[in-house]
Amino acid sequence: MKQNKYDDPGFFVNYSQMARSVSGLDAAGEWPAFRALLPTLREKNVLDLGCGFGWHCRYARAQQARSVVGVDLSERMLARARESTNDPAIEYRQLAIEDIDFAATQFDVVLSSLALHYVAHFDIVCQRVHHCLVPRGSFVFSVEHPIFSALAAQDWYYGEHGERLHWPVDHYQMEGPRQAMFLEHEVVKYHRTIATYLNTLMKAGFTIMGFSEPQPTQEMLDKHPDMRDETRRPMFLLISAIKNG
Amino acid sequence: MKQNKYDDPGFFVNYSQMARSVSGLDAAGEWPAFRALLPTLREKNVLDLGCGFGWHCRYARAQQARSVVGVDLSERMLARARESTNDPAIEYRQLAIEDIDFAATQFDVVLSSLALHYVAHFDIVCQRVHHCLVPRGSFVFSVEHPIFSALAAQDWYYGEHGERLHWPVDHYQMEGPRQAMFLEHEVVKYHRTIATYLNTLMKAGFTIMGFSEPQPTQEMLDKHPDMRDETRRPMFLLISAIKNG
């Protein structure tokens, strides 16, 4: 059974209150870096894996993508996505990311934002994305950074006065599930090393094109001084790759 | 002035006593991973940046490389390398890595083992390596892993009974020099993010071919149980790339 945490009502309420859920992409600290890795979307057929509320799907269409398919396992997420979308060129489908089964070369671009660390089998995802992409098509995704996901606690190490001393790393080489807390709920995340992300992509037939460990922009730091700690360790990892061919 | 720590007599003595200095490549934990990233060296012209005692140069010739140039800034290191080498196809040159100035397409393979984290300008090194490689030539190197080099202390965080609690990460995004201790001497190392290593290579005209964050093999763990902590955080980062063309 694939994890479907977003259909848990309490979790869904908390998720809906996150800044990025209310205000969309511009409230997501990593969005400028993610956008910079995307190819031009004009006239492209786009697939969004773990589309959530559909922000990236609508962004793709605003960039004049020809068509967009958004996939998510959560019916609640998709219901909200459909409510927020008035565009016949965007189609939402309820599906686990590992279960996608699109036609060969159906898409020019596959993107995924902060969803693949919930997926147990990254190798299978890479193979299926490779299958449904055109040659030279782009795969761009973000995940929680392995430095961030190595320890299940996903928290700073604090001093006796509650100050953030540093970010603790342990069990880095032990890949697999982590019982993590997110929005006050237990969720299972899958820790993988950076080597595994990159080598799995290359083995599946992709060439690495870009790699980002973004930090908040100066503009964001000015607006949200509490984000300064985000420069102390990377929280997100973004990779862009193209299908060889 | 480029750092030439290895000509400091006290440092040199300590370095000479390290297992890898006495017993060579097989005593280096990351060697199996490094070797796996190397292309075939048979009939190749090879350049070794930061060759030290010349272990990799001699290995390349044992693999039937046509010729090998080993570059190092330290005269003491090179003297030892020359003493240990009886092979007219290996040439040692005293030179800072940033200052290499070989002819275009002079080499088929450039390798570098644990030297580039001592170099301030990785971008210049990439440009110069690119220049002296043939199209589709290989650049394979190892450095201290950015998780390892982020904090100058380069040490575990200990509990009150001296136990290793975890590996502390901080200042990850702050690239630049770190006054680190190595073999009881102060050395300057340069911390760079993984993104910088990869993107600088790609920008210089390389394609990423392999990426390794090695852990000790089971055989090494059996022989040296104290190496078990090496699975808790990566110490080394190895990258292989080829020149586009």
Stronger pLDDT, B17 or A198, i.e. the higher one: A198
Q: What is the pLDDT of residues A38-92, one digit of tens each?
A: 999 999 999 999 999 999 999 999 999 999 999 999 999 999 999 999 999 999 9
Instruction: Give dist(CA A200, CA A213) in Å, integer.
Output: 19
Q: Is the pLDDT of residue B1 over 70?
A: no
Q: How many CB atoms lie within 10 A of CB A101?
A: 8
H helical segments located in A2-62: 9-16, 19-23, 31-37, 55-62
Pairing state between β B107-113 and B45-49: parallel
B244 inside 8 A of chain A by CB: no
What is the pLDDT of chain B when averaged over all its residues? 94
Tell me the pLDDT band of B239, cut-offs 50, 70 and 90.
Answer: very high
Of B168, B172, B202, the CB nearest to A157: B168
Distances (CA, A) of B69 to A166, B31, B94, B143, B205: 42, 20, 11, 20, 23
Strand partners, A242: A138, A207
Instruction: Give dist(CA B192, CA B203) in Å, integer.
Output: 16
Q: What is the pLDDT of residues B116-147, one digit of tens each?
A: 999 999 999 999 999 999 999 999 999 999 99
H helical segments located in chain B: 9-16, 19-23, 31-37, 55-62, 75-83, 122-132, 146-149, 194-203, 218-223
CB atoms B208 and A208 under 8 Å: yes
The pLDDT value given to residue B143: 98
Pairing state between β A164-169 and A157-158: antiparallel
Question: Which architecture characterizes domain A30-146+191-243 according to CATH?
Answer: 3-Layer(aba) Sandwich (3.40)
Strand partners, B180: B187
A202 inside 8 A of chain B by CB: yes
Contacts of A231 in chain B (CB under 8 A): 171-174
B212 inside 8 A of chain A by CB: yes
Domain residue ranges of chain A, discontinuous segments joined by +: 30-146+191-243
B233 inside 8 A of chain A by CB: yes
The pLDDT value given to residue A90: 98
Distances (CA, A) of B191 to B33, B120, B150, B173, B179: 22, 9, 6, 9, 10
8 Å CB contact between A147 and A215:
no
CB atoms A147 and B195 under 8 Å: no
Q: What is the pLDDT of residues A3-44, one digit of tens each?
A: 788 888 888 888 888 888 888 888 888 999 999 999 999 999
What is the pLDDT of chain A when averaged over all its residues? 94
Distance between B167 CA and the closest CA of chain A, angstroms: 5
A142 inside 8 A of chain B by CB: no
Range in A38-42, A46-50, B78-82, B225-229 the model is least confident about? B225-229
Q: What is the pLDDT of residues B89-100, one digit of tens each?
A: 999 999 999 999
Q: Is the pLDDT of residue A180 over 80?
A: yes
Instruction: Give dist(CA B64, CA A45) in Å, integer.
Output: 50
A170 inside 8 A of chain B by CB: yes
A232 inside 8 A of chain B by CB: yes
Q: Is the pLDDT of residue A105 over 90?
A: yes
Of A172, A202, A215, the CB nearest to B233: A172
Q: What is the pLDDT of residues B172-191, one digit of tens each?
A: 999 999 998 888 888 899 99
Shortest CA distance to B194 belongs to which of A142, A174, A233, A124?
A: A233
Stronger pLDDT, A221 or A136, i.e. the higher one: A136
Distance between B233 CA and the closest CA of chain A, angstroms: 5
pTM of the model: 0.95
Q: Is B179 helix (H, G, I), strand (E, B) or coil?
A: strand
Residue of B nearest to A164 (CA): B170
| Residue B80 dihedral angles phi and psi, to the nearest 5° | -65, -40
Determine whether domain B5-243 maps to CATH 3.40.50.20.
no
Tell me the pLDDT band of B219, cut-offs 50, 70 and 90.
Answer: confident
% of chain A residues with pLDDT over 90: 79
Q: Is the pLDDT of residue A1 over 70?
A: no
